[in-house]
Amino acid sequence: MVTAIHQSGLSFVDHKGPARQVDIELGEPTGDLATLEPSASPVYVTRPLTPPLEEIVPLLTEVWESRLLTNRGPMNLRLEQALREHLDVRHPTLVANGTLGLLTALFALELPPGSEVITTPFSFAATSHAILTAGLVPVFVDIDRSTYNLDPAQIEAALTERTGAIVPVHCFGRACDTEAIDRIAAQHDLPVVYDAAHAFGVRHRGKSLAEFGQMSVLSFHATKVFNTLEGGCVVAAHQELKEKLERLTNYGFSSEAEIPCLGLNAKLNEVSCAVGLAGLPWVEAAMERRANIAATYRSRLASIETIRVPPIPPDQTQNHAYFPIEVTDAHPKSRDEVMQQLLAENIYARRYFYPVLPDLASVKRGMKPLSDGAIPHARDVASRIICLPIYPELDPIHIHRIADLLQP
């Protein structure tokens, strides 16, 4: 748990152990690599950013004293304003989680039921589930092999008269080819809803990555770079759309007795907003730590030719929410054998994202069927991908140990 930010760096405390200072440049491993035993406690793919309890309590006290617990109360408005400034976005609306954020955004489009939505096969289930829950039909097209994001040429080839929207994902916080996607969308008068669940704090082409498209949806789940326990945010392109989103998160009410279009209950409660307000000042330093961890992984893995580390995309900043690697055919172990090898050492890396979405039974029954041999890049990446542990207080010794285990 993060306990304090000092000028020299972050200080972390083990839940069991005493506080210890970790230099922001990345501290020394805490043990001797040569004699290292498998970790006694599990090393997870991520751990939540948990600000000091004493910074949350005053905010919770305010919530308790006001007895305003939800329905866009004062904490909600404060967090929204804080995010406007922190993320440099104009029209954010807080939501109960990223999945409901996507659903609310799709409701806002008011597409005819059964409209096709062009989207990526390489993402978390929530992306497709939101499309299906909105009564729309996911149309999967392949990804770009190096960015893991929708390939714009494939989007163009999949357009039909039933296409109602495009839902790309900035996978692992890596920006989509927004220029090409925006051009296609404008040519065909189609809305774009970016799933920016992984993209907190990322800047792209001189602005926040959450400012692209008609709407961008962020997740503030516990596993994300910034969290409100559960939560999320829909960033709208203009104020009128934001006001519509606010209504849609509140059942669709436009006044006490009027609901012009179908809404949800997707409001973020005041306790979550208080946690978010306490966490926000810690995010920059936490992202810096993540950057140092990513750099250490990169330098340790650079010499392992059988493991591919995807290149850092140009034209954007990084939040290092995830550290993906690919196990190539030249590696002596398969991807799943590598996963087992890590697991045997108590390292819980994850196969984000496997299987590809069209292979999920939940998605298969409502999607536009795929032709044979479609989405080869997505399938190839999904069969090789491993996301390695990355979170601010990850002990560098685990990075070195993982790199050693990945040696052929």
Interface ranges with ligand T4K (CB under 6 A)? 44-48, 97-99, 123-124, 126-127, 169, 195, 197-198, 219, 221-223, 232, 348, 350, 352
Beta carbon nearer to ligand T4K, 280 or 331: 280
Beta carbon nearer to ligand T4K, 62 or 359: 359
Beta carbon nearer to ligand T4K, 134 or 331: 134
Give CA–CA dist 340/318, Å, rounded: 29
Q: Alpha-carbon torsion 278, 279, 280, 283, what sign?
A: positive
Give CA–CA dist 114/284, Å, rounded: 42
- 353 phi and psi, to 5 degrees? -125, 120
Could you give the C-alpha distances from 155 to 141, 182, 189, 242, 375, in angstroms and in order?
6, 11, 14, 27, 12
Beta carbons of 165 and 111 less than 8 angstroms apart: yes
Beta carbon of residue 54, minimum distance to ligand T4K (angstroms, whole number): 20
How is residue 72 annotated by DSSP? Answer: S
Beta carbon of residue 172, minimum distance to ligand T4K (angstroms, whole number): 9
Beta carbon of residue 81, minimum distance to ligand T4K (angstroms, whole number): 21
Beta carbon nearer to ligand T4K, 48 or 135: 48
Beta carbon of residue 302, minimum distance to ligand T4K (angstroms, whole number): 26
Element spanning 66, H or E: helix 53-66
Distance of CA 50 to the CA centre of its chain: 17
Beta carbon nearer to ligand T4K, 331 or 345: 345
How is residue 320 annotated by DSSP? Answer: -
Reduce the DSSP state of residue 384 to 3 states and report it.
helix
Beta carbon nearer to ligand T4K, 59 or 199: 199
Beta carbon nearer to ligand T4K, 272 or 331: 272
Beta carbon of residue 167, minimum distance to ligand T4K (angstroms, whole number): 10
Beta carbons of 338 and 370 less than 8 angstroms apart: no
Beta carbon of residue 316, minimum distance to ligand T4K (angstroms, whole number): 17
Could you give the C-alpha distances from 211 to 101, 166, 243, 280, 321, in angstroms and in order?
15, 16, 16, 19, 19
Beta carbon nearer to ligand T4K, 209 or 331: 209
Give the count of alpha carbons within 13 A of 243, CB side only. Answer: 5
Beta carbon nearer to ligand T4K, 68 or 222: 222
Q: Alpha-carbon torsion 338, 341, 345, 348, what sign?
A: positive
Beta carbons of 289 and 10 less than 8 angstroms apart: yes
Beta carbon of residue 233, minimum distance to ligand T4K (angstroms, whole number): 10
Beta carbon of residue 222, minimum distance to ligand T4K (angstroms, whole number): 4
Beta carbon of residue 306, minimum distance to ligand T4K (angstroms, whole number): 26
Closest-approach residue to ligand T4K (CB) = 98
Checking phi first, is residue 85 left (phi over 0); if not, alpha (psi -120 to 50) or beta?
alpha
